[in-house]
Amino acid sequence: MMLRFLQIFSYVIVSLWVCFALLGFVMGEQANQVNLNLILQTPNMSQTATLFGSDELGRPMLERLILGAQTSFLVALGVVTFSAIIGTSIGLYSGYMGGMTDRIVTKIIDVFLAFPGLLLAIALAAVLGPGIENVIFALVVVGWVGYARLARVQTLALKNREHIHAAKALGTSQPVILWRHMLPLTLAPLGVEATFGIAAAVISEAGLSFLGLGVQPPDASWGNMIKEGTRYLLVAPHMVLVPGIALMLVVLAVNLIGDQWRDHLDIKQRHNH
């Protein structure tokens, strides 16, 4: 019963996150409008304008929260998409070719793994400058490695199967073998990896924005909202609690979905249930 509740909860939270992100496109500039009469207004359930309170400039926290959801969603979508495409392509090619190519790619992957991912992203973001595009680029440079490792391992396990040998014997070209015969069999574990990648991208974007290396004010990000709220933590704790709870719920929900998909793909786990 509890497991079922957590599954429903996770999908509801992710659906709300996506809806908020889409709503941000039609919101306009009202989230950035300064209202000196509402400075540090506490949450008021009876008024939509101050449902979640307001910040140090009187801007509504609800609208800022929606724009922050849009920022985190765009970053997560961009990072996971580009990381998956780059990493999967490299991993498939490396595992299929083997030999010197595989050894070189493996060494490159080991070099990237030798650096803490977030620290490398911080260094790249500091060099490139703030902005959502640079955040995505920095996180992609760090994030492709996990997909490459997983795709390479899957390819090594698949390339000696009968249908691959049959495709080779029929003269099928290498790109067709990789695209039609290898890639579909690796999509399930890569999909699970992508869910955890979404959670990691959301956390990393918030961390970079908190450090001043991500999205810059007046644009909203849950990270810079928390940063701004820390100065008023004693008098207006909602400025930290609102984006902090939203960040926690989204990351928790995405990780729960990833765990659910991983258990579903685990044959032993399904057999036990």
Residue 48, domain member (yes or no): no
Residue with the bigger pLDDT between 220 and 266: it is 220
Residue 13, domain member (yes or no): yes
Residue 45, domain member (yes or no): no
CB within 8 A of 60, min separation 6: which ones? 30, 31, 38, 49, 50, 51, 52, 54
Mean predicted confidence (pLDDT) in 217-228: 88
Q: Look at the pTM and tell me if it is higher than 0.95.
A: no
CA angle 32, 213, 191 (to 5 degrees): 95
pLDDT attached to residue 75: 94
H/E segment holding residue 32: none
pLDDT tens per residue across span 156-187? 888 878 878 787 787 777 788 888 878 888 88
- Range of 14-18, 34-38, 151-155, 254-258 with top mean pLDDT: 14-18
8 Å CB contact between 43 and 50: yes
Residue with the bigger pLDDT between 27 and 78: it is 78
CA angle 143, 208, 235 (to 5 degrees): 145
Residue 103, domain member (yes or no): yes
Point out which residues pair with 60 in neighbouring strands: 54
Residue 43, domain member (yes or no): no
Which of the four pLDDT bands, split at 50, 70 and 90, describes residue 271?
very low
Mean predicted confidence (pLDDT) in 223-237: 89
How many domains does the chain fold into? 1
Residue with the bigger pLDDT between 83 and 41: it is 83
pLDDT attached to residue 47: 67
Q: Is the pLDDT of residue 128 over 90?
A: no
CB within 8 A of 199, min separation 6: which ones? 250, 251, 254, 255, 258
270 φ, ψ (degrees, to nearest 5):
-65, -35
pLDDT attached to residue 49: 61
Instruction: Kindly provide the b/e burial profile for residues 217-254, where b requires at least 16 CB atoms within 10 angstroms of the residue's own CB.
Output: eebbbbbbbbbbbeebeeebebbbbbbbebbebbbebb
Residue 42, domain member (yes or no): no
Output the six-digit token pair for 218: 């007046």
pLDDT attached to residue 266: 62
Which CATH number does the domain housing residue 94 bear?
1.10.3720.10
Q: Is the pLDDT of residue 269 over 60?
A: no
Residue 176, domain member (yes or no): yes
Give me the chain's average pLDDT, please.
85
Give the burial class of 170: count Cβ atoms within 10 A of its Cβ; 0-12 exposed, 13-18 middle, 19 or more buried.
exposed
Q: Please state, for a pLDDT cut of 70, what percent of the chain lies above it.
A: 95
8 Å CB contact between 82 and 204: no
Which of the four pLDDT bands, split at 50, 70 and 90, describes residue 189?
confident
Output the six-digit token pair for 74: 């765009």
Please count the other Cβ atoms lying within 10 Å of the Cβ belonging to residue 114. Answer: 8
- Per the structure, the complete domain to which residue 134 belongs is given by 2-35+54-272
Query: Which residue in this structure is represented by tokens 């977030």?
Result: 118
CA distance 162 to 104: 27
Sign of CA dihedral 217, 218, 224, 226: positive
Residue 40, domain member (yes or no): no
pLDDT tens per residue across span 28-72? 677 778 887 888 888 877 666 677 888 888 888 888 899 999 999
How many Cα atoms occupy the beta-carbon half-sphere of 267 within 13 Å?
Answer: 0
